[in-house]
């Protein structure tokens, strides 16, 4: 269906883990904050100063400033390594999901609910697809 925001979720059972709320968004939830709406724009919280930065630059610098590194393509990490998947459309961030382990991710869908899902479940016209994985771990890659 062309208008289906999450075509990979059609007919799939997912675990809802919160009620709907406009209090926080996916980026906040990826960084384990459920009190603020994160985005590098006026009226939103952002962990670094983003004046004169593009959205892309603001995201890059925020991840770096909070101690996260982009995982090189093809490299794998242990199950316990913290990771955040950043979805993009045409190079612009649209959504983030946080790794829970054992193949399960958690996402806050905009102003809607939190849910648990597999990485590709949210691919589609609304979020695009996962463009980068960021990791935060002191242990070496395996």
Residues that bind another protein (CB under 8 A): 5, 20-23, 25-28, 35-39, 41-46, 92-96, 108-112, 126
Closest Cα partner for 95 from 79, 82, 80, 106?
106
Check: CB of residue 123 under 8 Å from CB of residue 129.
yes
Sheet containing 69-70, strands listed edge to edge, beginning at the edge strand earlier in sequence: 15-16, 114-117, 104-108, 92-101, 82-89, 129-136, 69-70
Rounded least distance, CB 44 to another protein, Å: 4
Report the nearest approach of another protein to the CB of residue 104 (Å): 20
Spatial separation of the C-alpha atoms in residues 82 and 101, rounded to whole Å: 9
Min dist. Cβ of residue 41 to another protein (A): 5
Q: Smallest distance, Å, CB 136 to another protein?
A: 21
81 vs 107, beta carbon nearer another protein: 107
Taking the least distance from each CB to another protein, the nearer of 41 and 100 is 41
């Amino acid at each position: 269906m062309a208008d289906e925001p999450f075509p990979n979720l059609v007919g799939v059972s997912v675990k809802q883990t919160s009620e709907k709320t406009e209090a926080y968004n996916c980026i906040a939830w990826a960084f384990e904050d459920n009190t603020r709406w994160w985005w590098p724009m006026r009226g939103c919280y952002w962990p670094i100063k983003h004046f004169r930065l593009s959205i892309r630059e603001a995201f890059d610098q925020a991840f770096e400033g909070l101690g996260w590194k982009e995982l090189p393509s093809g490299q794998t990490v242990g199950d316990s390594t913290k990771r955040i998947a950043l979805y993009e459309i045409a190079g612009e961030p649209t959504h983030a999901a946080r790794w829970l382990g054992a193949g399960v991710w958690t996402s806050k869908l905009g102003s809607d609910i939190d849910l648990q899902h597999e990485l590709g479940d949210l691919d589609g016209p609304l979020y695009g697809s996962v463009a980068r994985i960021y990791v935060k771990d002191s242990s070496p890659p395996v």
